[in-house]
Amino acid sequence: MTMTMDAAKTAHKAVQKKIAEDARPVTEAELQHYYDNGWVKMERLISPELAAEMLALAKVEIIEKPADNVRSHVRDVWHDVYNLGRDDDIEPFYSLTRSPIIGRNAQLFMRRDVPVGLHADMLAVKMPKGDGPENLTGFHQDFPNFPLDRAGLLTFWVALEDMEYEQGVMHFQSGSHKEGPLGRRNLMEDARGLLDHVPYIEKLYPLSPPMSLKAGDCTVHSSLVIHGAPSNTTNKPRWSYLMSCYPGDACWTGAPHHIFNADAGLTPGQPAISPRFPIIAQGK
Ligand SMILES: O=C(O)CCC(=O)C(=O)O
């Protein structure tokens, strides 16, 4: 039986209340770490229980449903499923992607009180060695892949299950966000990726130490920090869920793009606000 619109709204409200009590605000120390390094680890952004609920649904998406090449892809580096929360109304993804706590955290990371838009969410699962896409994510910046005129875009990368570095937890050239945009590289290109083009970076900005994460922990990274992830060399999948946000004062440059474009109702030179991208924090 299909849910009526009212029933769906009531169901979303209940989950929103649960998430309001579950997700936590960023601390001052975490903000400072992010400003200094371009990334930060936040322990227990969400509870292990909420992460477990999401993991159960992620397993259905990745293991039981075929990749359909529209929102789900088997690539070299992972098996992904796009926009479960943004577009598919699937709880608790729907309410987490719209959580005012996540929105305010993003605004504080962006360092200005502008509206925050959610342009994508995604499961990105590196499979166990020998059992699907497990390859490393080459070093890259995200910013050069977006046709937006200013910085601020960032990603929350949430562990849905405890994971060791060897499963493919992300790493960062700490502080490299201060260099600005360094060029567009394909993240599946090769191990060193962008680093081969800017070798001085490694001398100036150290690679973050190998991290392990507990279910519900996350890393947050700026679109300007150089980052990547090792391949999964273990026999367990890397169950990660990503939410990417952009600053609502950023204008679409008009360059062709699969997310920010005229189909989303955007106009070149105007703020990239569209009904397609939920606004998860209001400007002040
Ligand atoms: O999950 C990964 O391996 C990399 C993710 C990434 O590059 C990103 O979120 O920008």
Report domain extents, the chain. 35-276
135 lines ligand 1 (CB under 6 A): no
Angle separating helix axes 28-37 and 100-110, nearest 10 degrees: 50
Given a contact cutoff of 8 angstroms between Cβ atoms, the answer to whether 210 and 165 are in contact is: yes
226 lines ligand 1 (CB under 6 A): no
Q: How far is the CA of 140 from the centre of ligand 1 (A)?
A: 9
The rounded distance, in Å, linking the Cα atoms of 158 and 160 is: 6
Here the tokens at position 120 are 């994508």
Q: How far is the CA of 240 from the centre of ligand 1 (A)?
A: 10
Look at domain 35-276 and name its CATH class.
Answer: mainly beta
Report pLDDT digits (tens) over 35-90.
999 999 999 999 999 999 999 999 999 999 988 888 899 998 999 999 999 999 89
Report pLDDT digits (tens) over 7-48.
778 889 999 999 989 999 999 999 999 999 999 999 999 999
Q: How far is the CA of 224 from the centre of ligand 1 (A)?
A: 13
DSSP string, 210-274: P--B-TT-EEEEETTS-EEE----SSS-B-EEEEEEEETTPBB-----SSSSGGGT--TTSB---
Q: What amino acid is encoded at 42 in this protein?
A: M
Nearest CA to ligand 1 atom 7: 228
Which stretches of the chain drop beneath a pLDDT of 70? 1-3, 187-189
Choose among 253, 37, 277: nearest CA to 143. 253
121 lines ligand 1 (CB under 6 A): no
Please give the number of the atom of ligand 1 that sits closest to the Cα of 240. 1
The strand ranges marked E within 137-204 are: 137-140, 154-159, 171-172
